Structure 1
Amino acid sequence: MTETFFSQPGELRRLVEFSALLNSSFDIQTVLTRAMDYVEGLLGAEASSIFQVDQVRGDLFFRLVRGEKADQLREMRLNFGEGIAGAVALSEEPLLISDTSRDPRFCRRFDNSSGFATRSVLCAPLKSRDRLVGVMEVLNKRDPRGFDEQDRDVLLLVGNLIGTALENARLYGRLQERLSATMEELETAQAKLLRARRLAALGKLAQGVAHEVRNPVAIIGGFLRRLGKRPPPHALAQTEVELMTSQVQKLERMVGEIEAFARLGEPAKRPVHLLDLVEEVLALQEPALRRQQIRVQRDFPPAVPTVPADPDLLRVALGHLLENAREAMPAGGLLQIALSLEPQRVHLAIKDTGMGVAPADLSHVFDPFFSSKPQGTGMGLTVVHQIIANHLGEVQLESTPGQGVTVHLWLPRSTPGD
C-alpha cells in the first residue's frame, strides 16, 4: 500500500527530500523536530511524540515532546509493555488504535499530565540495522475517517528512516564526547610535558645560578651578621642591618632550595610504608606544633600497603607540606591527616584550618618562585610537585578562602614486581 501512497504526485519527492533533510544534521533535537513536522503533515495528525530506548535502564523516555506541558512529560517514562508505545517497543510491531477509550492498553497518565485528549493513536517502532532505538506515536488524525492501514505502513517506512537518523545522531554525539575527552587528555598531557621540560630547563639553569650566587650571598650574609653583633652608631642603622640580614637569609634559603631542586633526579625506589613515613615526619614537627597549639587529627586505615618510593625524597615532600600547614596556622588550629586506599593508588590528604589560598593564586601554587608568604621562597611546592611526579603520582591543592587548604597526594601502590 505504501507503493500506492508514494506513487501519488509529489509524495515520493517529499519522501526523498525528507530523507535528505534527516541526514543533513547530526543534532538529535533538529533531526527529530524535522521528523515530527514531516510526519504530522504527511499523515494529517494533530500531534506526535518520539520515545527513545534507554539502553541502560531498559525503558522508554520522551526524546522529543512539544507543547505547553512538555517539561512535565519529559520527566515521565514508560516500561516495555506499558501503554501503546510500550506495547510497540515490546513487540517491535506497529499498532493502530482507532478508539483509545476502548483499548485497555492505552495509558492515560500522559493525557492527564498534558491536558491533551488522545482519541486515536498510530504507533510504529523506530529501528536502525534491525535494532530498536525508539518508538514514534502519531495522535488524532484530522480526517474524520481516522488512521488506516496505509497510514500505518507509511509510518513504518518513515520510522525506519527516522530510526537510522536517530541512531546516527546518537553515535555522532558519542563520538563528539569521546573526541572532547581525548582532546582534554591531550591538553593535560601536553601541559604536563611542557611543565616537565620547563622544570628540566629550570633545573639546569638553577645549578648555574645557585653556584654563582651562593658565594657572594654567603660573604654578604657573614658580613651583616658580624655587623649586627657590633654596637650600631644609631638605631636606624641597626634597623637597616636587621632588614638586610633578613633579606639575605631569604636569599640563602632560596639558593639552598634551588640547589635541592636542581639535584632532584630519578628516585631510588623501594617498597616504603607511607604511614610510618608520615609519622616520622610528624614527629619532627611535633615540638613546633605544640608551641603553636596545633592539634593533629589522624584518620588512617588499619593496614596500608607499601608504595614504591624513595623514602628520602618523600620525607622532603612531606616535610614541605607539613611545614606549610603549620605556618598557615600561627595562632593554632587543627591539622588533619588522612590516608585512604584506592584500587591502584594510596591517597594522602593534609588539611589545615588557616586562611586558605586566594582563588586567583590556585593555578600558580606549584610554579617556581611563586609564594604568598613574605618570607617564602616559592620553591617548596615546586619541589613537592616534582618529587611526586617523579614517583608517577599526582598532587592537587584545593582551598576555600578563610577555610584552609587541603593538599591531596596520590601514589601508586606496590605491585609484586616492585
Structure 2
Amino acid sequence: EQESVIALKIRSALCAPLIYRGRIYGLVYLDRNVPGAYNEKDLELLKTIAFILAPLVENARLWSQLKEHYDQAMATLRATEAKLIQREREAAYMRLAQAMAHEIRNPLMGIGGLVRRMLQKEGGSPWEEKLRTILGLAERVEQVMRDVDAFVRFPEPELHLERIDEAIGQCLQECAHHWQEKGIHPVLEIRTAQLLVPLDRQLFTHAFSLLLKEMLPGIPEESPCTLTLQDHGREIAVLAGEAAMEKCTGQLYDQELKRRPWSLSLFLNIAHKIISDHGGRMFFDPEGNSPYPFLMTLRRTIPMAPLEKVLNPTPSPGGE
C-alpha cells in the first residue's frame, strides 16, 4: 500500500463509508497529490453524499433481487402453463381413445360372435382352422380395447409407505416364465438403506410388470439383467441395464423419443401414466432400440393433499 501511495503521488485522501441500516455497502474515496487538500468541511460534505448514496445502492440491490425473483416466478408460471396445456392435450387424447375404443368394440364383438357361431356349425370342417385364426385375432383386438379402457379409467393411486424392493421382487416372480424363455437371469441389487416409498402396491406392480415385459425384447438371450435400487438425491432410483444413469436422458414424450417406434407401445404408455401419477419419472436411452435400459425415479415422501380436497373430502359410496 505504501508503495502504491508513493507511486501515485497521493498526498491527501478522504473517505466515507456507505452505511444504511447498520450495514456497509461500500466506500466513497477521494485523493489528491496536494498535501492538506481536504479539511473537516470536506469530510462532512463527503459523509452527506455517502448518506444519500447508501440507500440508493441498497435500493438498486433490492431492485435487482426483485427482478430476479420476478423472472424466476414468470419462468415457473410459463412452465406450469405448458404442463397444464400438455395435461389438457393428454385428457383430449384419452377421451378420443375411449371414443375410438367404443366404436371399434361394437362391430368387433359382432364379428367375434359371428365367428363363434360359425365354429359351432362348422366344427370338423376345413374352415375350422381359418375361423379359429380369425377368432384369435378378434380376441386379441378385444383385449387391446380392454387395455385402452383400463388406460383411460385408471384411478388415482392411494399411496402408502411400501418396501419397493418387495414390490419389484413380486414383479420379477410374476414375469419369471418370460425371463426363463430367453434364459435371462434378473438380479436385484440394493444400494440404499431407505426402501420405504409411497406406493399404490397394486398399480405400481402392474406398471412395473408391463415395463419388464416391454424391455424384454431388448435384452440379449442368455444374459444377466441387473436391476439396481439406489439413492438419487431426495428420491430413490430404479436402474435397469448397464450405464443406465448416463444413457437414459430422455422422457417418453420428449421429441427425441417420438421417432422411436417402441415409445408408442400401449403397455409402456400405461406404465408411464401410473408412474407419473405416483409423482415419479421414467427416462430412456434416446438412441436405444427398446425401453431397455431405463431409469425410474420415485419420491420418498407422500405429497400433501390440496387444501380444497382436505376441506371438502369426497364422500365414500353409501355414506351420508
| Mean CA deviation greater in 265-274 or 403-412 | 403-412
Aligned to 2:296: 408
Aligned to 1:13: none
Aligned match of 1:158 in 45, 49, 56? Answer: 49
Instruction: Determine the C-alpha separation between the residues in 2 that align with 1:194 and 1:213.
Output: 28
Aligned residue identity for 1:187: R
Aligned residue identity for 1:329: I
Aligned to 2:317: none
- Identity fraction in percent: 20
Aligned match of 2:273 in 379, 382, 386? Answer: 386
CA spacing shift, 1:372–1:214, aligned 2, 3 Å: farther
Instruction: Determine the C-alpha separation between the residues in 1 that align with 2:148 and 2:249.
Output: 25
**SS of the residue 1:195 aligns to:** helix
**SS of the residue 1:122 aligns to:** strand
Instruction: Determine the C-alpha separation between the residues in 2 that align with 1:189 and 1:135.
Output: 40
Instruction: Determine the C-alpha separation between the residues in 2 that align with 1:227 and 1:190.
Output: 58
CA contact under 8 A between 2:241 and 2:294: conserved in structure 1?
yes
Aligned to 2:17: 125
CA contact under 8 A between 1:253 and 1:377: conserved in structure 2?
no
| Alpha-carbon distance, 1:212 to partner | 2.0
Alignment pair present for 1:209 and 2:100: yes
CA spacing shift, 1:402–1:412, aligned 2, 3 Å: closer
Instruction: Determine the C-alpha separation between the residues in 2 that align with 1:385 and 1:157.
Output: 66
| Alpha-carbon distance, 1:314 to partner | 0.9
CA contact under 8 A between 2:249 and 2:284: conserved in structure 1?
no
| Alpha-carbon distance, 1:264 to partner | 0.8
What runs of 5+ residues in structure 2 fail to find an aligned partner? 116-125, 306-320
Aligned to 2:316: none
Alignment pair present for 1:350 and 2:242: no
**SS of the residue 1:266 aligns to:** coil
**SS of the residue 2:261 aligns to:** coil
CA spacing shift, 1:381–1:158, aligned 2, 3 Å: farther
**SS of the residue 2:25 aligns to:** strand
| Bigger radius of gyration | 1
Instruction: Determine the C-alpha separation between the residues in 2 that align with 1:179 and 1:252.
Output: 53
- Alignment deviations for residues 188-207 of structure 1 (CA, whole Å, 9 cap, x no partner): 33233333333333333322
CA contact under 8 A between 1:294 and 1:329: conserved in structure 2?
no
CA spacing shift, 1:270–1:185, aligned 2, 3 Å: same
CA spacing shift, 1:148–1:411, aligned 2, 3 Å: same
| Alpha-carbon distance, 1:361 to partner | 7.5
| Alpha-carbon distance, 1:278 to partner | 1.4
Matched length: 281
Aligned match of 1:395 in 281, 286, 297? Answer: 281
Aligned match of 1:319 in 209, 218, 224? Answer: 209
What runs of 5+ residues in structure 1 fail to find an aligned partner? 1-99, 102-107, 231-241
CA contact under 8 A between 2:250 and 2:284: conserved in structure 1?
no
Query: Which structure has greater helix proportion?
Result: 2
**SS of the residue 1:408 aligns to:** strand
| Alpha-carbon distance, 1:313 to partner | 1.1
Alignment pair present for 1:304 and 2:195: yes
Instruction: Determine the C-alpha separation between the residues in 2 that align with 1:365 and 1:267.
Output: 29
Per chain length, whose mean CA-contact separation is higher, i.e. which structure has more relative contact order (CA < 8 Å, sep 6+)?
2
Instruction: Determine the C-alpha separation between the residues in 2 that align with 1:248 and 1:358.
Output: 38
**SS of the residue 1:322 aligns to:** helix
CA contact under 8 A between 1:274 and 1:306: conserved in structure 2?
yes
| Alpha-carbon distance, 1:179 to partner | 1.6
TM-score normalised by L of structure 1: 0.53
**1:10-409 pair list within 5 angstroms:** 101=2, 117=8, 119=10, 121-128=13-20, 130-136=21-27, 138=29, 140-143=31-34, 145-214=36-105, 219=111, 255-289=145-179, 291=182, 293=184, 296-307=187-198, 309-330=199-220, 332=223, 334-340=225-231, 346-353=235-242, 363-364=254-255, 370=258, 372-373=260-261, 377-391=264-278, 393-397=279-283, 399=285, 401=287, 405-409=293-297
CA spacing shift, 1:293–1:305, aligned 2, 3 Å: closer
- Alignment deviations for residues 112-141 of structure 1 (CA, whole Å, 9 cap, x no partner): xxxx8584653321123x232422253642
How much is the aligned-residue C-alpha RMSD, in angstroms? 4.6
Instruction: Determine the C-alpha separation between the residues in 2 that align with 1:122 and 1:401.
Output: 67
Instruction: Determine the C-alpha separation between the residues in 1 that align with 2:67 and 2:128.
Output: 68
Instruction: Determine the C-alpha separation between the residues in 2 that align with 1:361 and 1:275.
Output: 24
TM-score normalised by L of structure 2: 0.66
| Alpha-carbon distance, 1:262 to partner | 1.2
CA contact under 8 A between 1:329 and 1:354: conserved in structure 2?
no
CA contact under 8 A between 1:126 and 1:136: conserved in structure 2?
yes
CA contact under 8 A between 2:196 and 2:300: conserved in structure 1?
no
CA contact under 8 A between 1:123 and 1:137: conserved in structure 2?
yes
**SS of the residue 1:413 aligns to:** coil
CA contact under 8 A between 1:126 and 1:160: conserved in structure 2?
yes
